Amino acid sequence: MKSSVITFPGSNCDRDMDVALKKFGFKNKMIWHNDNELPKSDLVVLPGGFSYGDYLRCGSMASKSKIMQSVINFAKSGGLVMGICNGFQILVETGLVPGALLRNRYLEFICKNVFVKLNNKDNSYFKNLDKNIFEFHIAHNEGNYFCTKDQLKEIEDNDQIAIFYCNDNGQINDKFNPNGSIKNIAGIFNKEKNVLGMMPHPERMIDQSLSGEDGSLFFKNLINNIK
């Protein structure tokens, strides 16, 4: 299975993602933002970081970079595109997934482990996973998911919410909402469910001795689903 990780100026989780993808069997290539063409890929990942220094709005400049037209075409033809953290911010700026990501409600940069609950397993990312609650890491300043009332209705009607912030029992309420996101939304799909944007970093949970193993479960399952 072939994957491509796009590196933008200011990306800093691109190498971690490369390590994670390779650990679970992907043949990964790093692709520079200024390239025109994506290599043949089964999965494209927009990694975390601070692309273009977060100038203007997080992800706004990266969403206009050269490679993104190929990424958008790939997504529109049904290819799997996953955006993590800054990658999620880039995805909302391209319009591939609905909504926007605002400053965290208490204006602080949040860096901690959180629990998330899967909402929809009928997709290539989450199907066949045995459990519903995962412990992932978040590290962001602008992860406060926002969308209009009309968009929220559409998102809910199409079952596009991917994951919610919750506690270790899967309880979803404001107490377990780290950043003020509408409805505790931590990740979202496009209508077709081939594009996934989420704030948490599964690639930071792939080593028991360093963190936890929930990311390993996610990546192992993902490559099996794509095969």
- Which residues form the interface with another protein (CB under 8 A)? 56-57, 60, 64, 92-93, 98-100, 102-107, 144, 146-148, 151, 180
Nearer to another protein, 32 or 55 (CB): 55
CB of 145 to another protein, least distance (A): 11
Distance, CA of 14 to CA of 216 (rounded, Å): 17
CB of 103 to another protein, least distance (A): 6
Active site residue 203: yes
DSSP letter assigned to residue 3: E
> Tokens 């519903």 belong to which residue?
132
Nearer to another protein, 105 or 121 (CB): 105
Q: How many helices (H) and strands (E) does the chain have?
A: 5, 11
Nearer to another protein, 12 or 60 (CB): 60
19 touches 42 (CB < 8 A): no
Active site residue 58: no
Q: Tell me the CA distances in angstroms from 183 to 52, 161, 196, one per residue in order.
A: 29, 10, 17
Nearer to another protein, 107 or 210 (CB): 107
E strands, 47-202, are 80-84, 100-102, 110-118, 133-140, 144-146, 161-166, 185-189, 195-198
Active site residue 33: no
Nearer to another protein, 3 or 181 (CB): 181
Residues with Cβ within 8 Å of 86's Cβ and at least 6 positions away in sequence, in order, are 11, 13, 46, 47, 48, 49, 50, 51, 54, 58, 59, 62
**85, 137, 147, 166: which one is catalytic?**
85
For residue 157, how many C-alpha atoms fall within 13 Å in the half-sphere facing its CB?
6
| Residues assigned a catalytic role | 85, 201, 203
